[in-house]
């Protein structure tokens, strides 16, 4: 087996604008959106008819018919049908985890080029039939005689019409992610004002990125949408302060304004070895150099559901020999403003760093001016599977624009998961 490790180049990415639930994409399926995005990537990097090493992508909310979603999307795309593909699902960590998987294969020389991506629709969501009805129908199917079939059908009841609708809640706690985050916000004493400030800044930074043309080659129009539907360039503290809390009870601090809405969208990034990039005349925007996934026990040990990135970060930094302050850019997924603020406080807190993370000293604070410089999920929206690809493509381009430096990504996910990664500008000294 090959024991040498190659540098992994990020060549760029693309996505469709993110839409709000039941908005312009309400009739688009996961496959439609992922296929469109793969085509856009193929166009951008002249991959039409090319077989790439692999495509890894996934969706969180999936129909049972989408068992091979990514492969089916590849077959429908401009990529060569000989391109292998597989599905990845790690809740909101899907896109970044897919990037790690593809990167690792490139690093080990198992492939030279690959695509990582993700997609999600909360509008065209799968609705399952009632569990009782399903049992009856399965029984009918198993029956060998007409009499047996009739006996099974006799068990049909009117209430079995009520379908099973997917819920945005943790199976083991029954609490929604927002409710979990409200608990974290209370535990960390996060104020409403801090959260609203982060939300406003996210909208303003993303709007500025669009205005200066930064997003021009990162976002392609889709179904009449040219910019993210959720984006409010005129967002202000005053407007946000009028919203009522939606999580954490009447004294709660979390509103629809400082939480991400349910959204639809897709993204994809192109990763390759340096040799492949050179052979194809494609400039390297950044290198994907480190990654770490962690999980916390939010069920029994009462750790915050979305605190796993706090654990992943020091492990990754330790391996990379870096401190939290050694970065020029920080991309922290804004699932909820409170999640970002809890994570930052946790890294600053001597007690948490010692008791939970086992560190002698806190990781410390970061320069907030370097955080999500071109906007984050609060502005863009957050189609679960598509966020990782958005962030990787975004950071790669920002690093390339700077011409030097280092960026870090932190993404929290349902199930107490967290994914982090490090990227360095192509000519990082």
Partner 1 sequence: MADRYSQLINTPIGKVISKQIGLPQPPPLERWEPGKPVISGPVLFGAAPGGRLARPVAQVLASIRAEIHTPMQEEIRSAVAAADTDAKVFNAEATPSEQRFKALVFDATGISSSEELRAAYEFFHPTIRRVRNSGRIVILATPPSSCRNPRQALAQRALEGLTRSLGKEVKRGATAQLVYVAPKAESLIESTLRFLLSPKSAYVSGQVVRIAPPKSPLDAGVVDWESPLEGKIALVTGASRGIGRAIAQTLARDGAHVVGLDIPSQADDLALVAAETGGSTLPMDITAADAPRQIVDHLEKQHGGVDVVVHNAGVTRDKTLGRMTEDQWDMVLEVNLGAEQRIDHELFERGVVNPNGRIICVSSISAIAGNAGQTNYATSKAGVIGMVEAYAPALSKSGQTVNAVAPGFIETQMTAAMPIGLREAGRRMNSMSQGGLPVDVAETIAWFASPGSAGVNGNVVRVCGQSLLGA
Please identify every residue annotated as catalytic: 92, 382, 412
- Of all helices (H) and strands (E), which one includes residue 19? strand 19-20
Q: Running DSSP on this structure, what letter comes out for residue 162? A: S
CB of 289 to partner 1, least distance (A): 31
Among 22, 187, 197, 274, binds partner 1 (CB under 8 A): 187
37 touches 68 (CB < 8 A): no
Angle in degrees, 0-180, between the axes of helices 337-348 and 192-211, rounded to the nearest 10: 110
Two tokens at 345? 């406080």
Among 1, 147, 154, 351, binds partner 1 (CB under 8 A): 351
Q: Running DSSP on this structure, what letter comes out for residue 155? A: T
Among 20, 180, 345, 382, binds partner 1 (CB under 8 A): 345
Beta bridge partners of 235: none
Q: Is 249 in the site for partner 1 (CB under 8 A)?
A: yes
Q: Rank residues 139 and 187 by Cβ distance to partner 1 and give the closer one.
A: 187
Tokens 């969706």 label which residue?
Answer: 59
CB neighbourhood size of 358 (10 A): 9
Q: Is 358 in the site for partner 1 (CB under 8 A)?
A: no
Ordered alpha helix ranges (H), 216-273 = 237-240
330 touches 366 (CB < 8 A): yes
Q: Is 371 in the site for partner 1 (CB under 8 A)?
A: no
Among 46, 110, 173, 191, binds partner 1 (CB under 8 A): 191
Beta bridge partners of 264: 19
Q: Is 135 in the site for partner 1 (CB under 8 A)?
A: no
Q: Is 212 in the site for partner 1 (CB under 8 A)?
A: no
Q: Rank residues 130 and 186 by Cβ distance to partner 1 and give the closer one.
A: 186
- The piece of 130-138, 246-254, 276-284, 327-335 that touches partner 1 (CB under 8 A) is 246-254
Among 130, 143, 160, 186, binds partner 1 (CB under 8 A): 186
- Of all helices (H) and strands (E), which one includes residue 246? strand 245-247
- Of all helices (H) and strands (E), which one includes residue 255? strand 254-255
Q: Pattern 385-424, binding to partner 1, x per CB under 8 A?
A: ----------------------------------------
Binding site for partner 1 (CB under 8 A): 185-193, 249, 251, 253, 345, 348-351, 353-355
């Amino acid at each position: 087996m090959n024991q040498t490790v190659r540098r992994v180049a990020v060549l760029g990415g693309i996505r469709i604008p993110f839409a709000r639930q039941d908005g312009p994409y309400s009739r688009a399926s996961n496959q439609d959106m992922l296929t469109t995005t793969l085509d856009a990537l193929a166009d951008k990097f002249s991959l039409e008819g090319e077989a790439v090493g692999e495509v890894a992508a996934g969706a969180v909310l999936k129909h049972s018919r989408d068992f091979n979603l990514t492969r089916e999307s590849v077959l429908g795309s401009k990529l060569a049908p000989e391109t292998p593909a597989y599905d990845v699902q790690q809740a909101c960590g899907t896109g970044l985890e897919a990037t790690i998987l593809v990167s690792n294969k490139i690093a080990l020389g198992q492939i030279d080029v690959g695509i990582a991506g993700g997609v999600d629709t909360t509008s065209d969501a799968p609705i399952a039939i009632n569990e009782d009805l399903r049992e009856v129908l399965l029984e009918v199917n198993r029956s060998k005689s007409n009499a047996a079939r009739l006996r099974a059908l006799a068990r049909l009841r009117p209430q079995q019409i009520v379908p099973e609708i997917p819920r945005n809640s943790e199976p083991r706690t029954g609490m929604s992610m927002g409710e979990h985050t409200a608990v974290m916000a209370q535990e960390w004493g996060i104020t409403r004002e801090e959260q609203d400030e982060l939300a406003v800044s996210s909208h303003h930074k993303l709007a500025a990125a669009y205005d200066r043309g930064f997003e021009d080659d990162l976002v392609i129009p889709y179904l009449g949408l040219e910019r993210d539907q959720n984006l409010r360039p005129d967002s202000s503290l005053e407007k946000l302060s009028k919203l009522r809390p939606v999580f954490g009870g009447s004294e709660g601090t979390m509103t629809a304004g400082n939480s991400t809405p349910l959204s639809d969208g897709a993204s994809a990034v192109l990763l390759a070895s340096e040799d492949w990039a050179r052979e194809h005349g494609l400039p390297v925007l950044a290198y994907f150099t480190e990654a770490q996934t962690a999980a916390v026990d939010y069920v029994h040990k009462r750790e915050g559901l979305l605190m796993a990135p706090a654990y992943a970060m020091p492990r990754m930094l330790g391996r990379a020999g870096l401190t939290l302050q050694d970065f020029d850019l920080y991309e922290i997924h804004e699932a909820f403003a409170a999640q970002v603020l809890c994570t930052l406080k946790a890294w600053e807190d001597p007690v948490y760093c010692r008791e939970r993370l086992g560190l002698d000293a806190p990781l410390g604070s970061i320069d907030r001016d370097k955080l999500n410089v071109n906007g984050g999920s609060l502005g863009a929206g957050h189609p679960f599977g598509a966020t990782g690809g958005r962030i990787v493509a975004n950071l790669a381009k920002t690093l390339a624009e700077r011409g030097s430096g280092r960026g870090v990504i932190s993404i929290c996910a349902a199930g107490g998961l967290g994914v982090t990664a490090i990227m360095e500008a192509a000519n990082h000294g």
